Amino acid sequence: MELQAVVDEIVHEVQPMLGEGAVASYIPSLGQVPAGNFGMCVAMSDGPVCGAGQWQDPFSIQSISKVFSLALVMSYDYDSIWKRVFREPSGTPFNSMLQLEADNGIPRNPFINAGALVVTDRLLTLTGDAAGSVRGLLRKESGNPAIDFDDEVAASEAQHGHRNYAMAHLLASYGNLENPVELVLENYFKQCSLRMSCEDLAAASRFLARHGVSAGGTPFLSPNQSKRINAVMLTCGTYDAAGEFAYRVGLPGKSGVGGGIVAIVPGRCAVTVWGPALGPNGNSVAGIAALDAFTTRTGWSIF
């Protein structure tokens, strides 16, 4: 199988789909990204990389950053975060607050916003600079020191982030934040605003395909921790469409409202796609179609 040819074909095939769905506009700066962009990259765990389309153009990674903040917290703290966050699919939208009160301030999982705020809060306690730590990890694992925050996107989200403010205050009211609400949100908005290409993101995610081994060849996470993060990605990584994603793609994955998705084939590779137009559950329409085609064609699924 010629992997480059497979990726080229898939990127060609999804072109007619690029108009489907809508670019996220609840963060006004994100709404300006053209819906017709599309890129895809495969980074093999042993080094080779191939990509097609706009795979080297940076985009806002948004919720994909939640995978890296969780990985960092687990690397410092092993599993104590699970006292403050569950690991069950929520079946509700990523920014829903419905369950948070019923569950006494314990978010359903680390990939919905409430859970990610708790993880960022913990990372802030552990490092003093949660967003900076996530950026540092991404720079190191991708080998690209130019990866940075998009201040305009972060400010745009802060201005319109009423639900996230409400959620953070609700968490604080249950004693599930260790740091001031403002500081947690500032770090959360910054980590979500990080701009990366499919190429950088695939390289930076490779440790999850290498059982926790970092780009430098040393263990960043234990194989067990890497397995657990992949498991939570599979069950909770694509909002309230995680069942549909598992059915169609058959891999652990994490999406973001910037239109990116990272998927992991444990032991083999990390695959990233980017198409800004989102379906009703907030996942890239063309991105899911491309990942579906990828696992169907290569047979590289966990099932």
> Could you confirm whether 247 is annotated as catalytic?
no
Q: Which among 188, 190, 249, 284 is annotated as catalytic?
A: 188
Q: Which residue, 120 or 226, is less far from ligand GLU as judged by CB?
A: 120
Give the C-alpha separation, 290 to 11, whole Å. Answer: 7
Is residue 96 involved in binding ligand GLU (CB under 6 A)? no
Q: Residue 257 annotated as binding?
A: yes
Q: Is 37 annotated as a binding residue?
A: no
Q: Say whether residue 292 binds ligand GLU (CB under 6 A).
A: no
Q: What angle do CA 283, 121, 24 make, to 5 degrees?
A: 25
Please identify, using beta-carbon distances, which residue of 52 and 249 lies nearer to ligand GLU: 249
Please confirm, yes or no, whether 257 is among the known catalytic residues.
yes
Binding string to ligand GLU for residues 241 to 260, with x set by CB under 6 A, is what?
---------------xx---
Nearer to ligand GLU, 26 or 247 (CB): 26
- The CA distance from 1 to 162, in Å, is 49
Query: Cβ of residue 95: shortest distance to ligand GLU, in angstroms?
Result: 5
Instruction: Please report whether residue 157 would count as binding ligand GLU according to CB under 6 A.
Output: yes
Give the nearest distance from C-beta 201 to ligand GLU in angstroms: 13
| Contacts for 287 with CB less than 8 Å, ≥ 6 apart | 255, 259, 260, 261, 273, 274, 275
Rounded to the nearest 5 degrees, what angle is found at the Cα of 209, between the Cα atoms of 43 and 235?
115
Minimum CB separation from ligand GLU for residue 79, in Å?
24
- Give 216's DSSP letter: T
Q: Give, in order, the Cα–Cα distances in Å from 128 to each of 132, 183, 191.
A: 9, 10, 14
Q: How many residues bind ligand GLU, per CB under 6 A? A: 11
The yes or no reply on residue 95 touching ligand GLU (CB under 6 A) is yes
**Mask of contacts with ligand GLU, 159-198, x by CB under 6 A?**
-----x---------------------------x------
Name residue 69's amino acid. Answer: S
Q: What is the distance of C-alpha 60 from the center of its chain?
A: 10
Q: For residue 20, say whether it is annotated as part of any ligand binding site.
A: no
CB-CB contact of 102 with 156 (8 Å):
no
212 phi and psi angles, rounded to 5 deg:
95, -5
Cα 35 from Cα 51, distance rounded (Å): 19
Catalytic entry in 65, 66, 190, 262: 66
The length of the chain in residues reads: 303
178 among annotated binding-site residues: no
Which residue is associated with the tokens 């064609």?
297
Q: Tell me if 113 contacts ligand GLU by CB under 6 A.
A: yes
Residues lying near ligand GLU in the complex (CB under 6 A) are found at 62-63, 94-95, 113, 157, 164, 192, 256-257, 282
Catalytic amino acids?
63, 66, 188, 239, 257
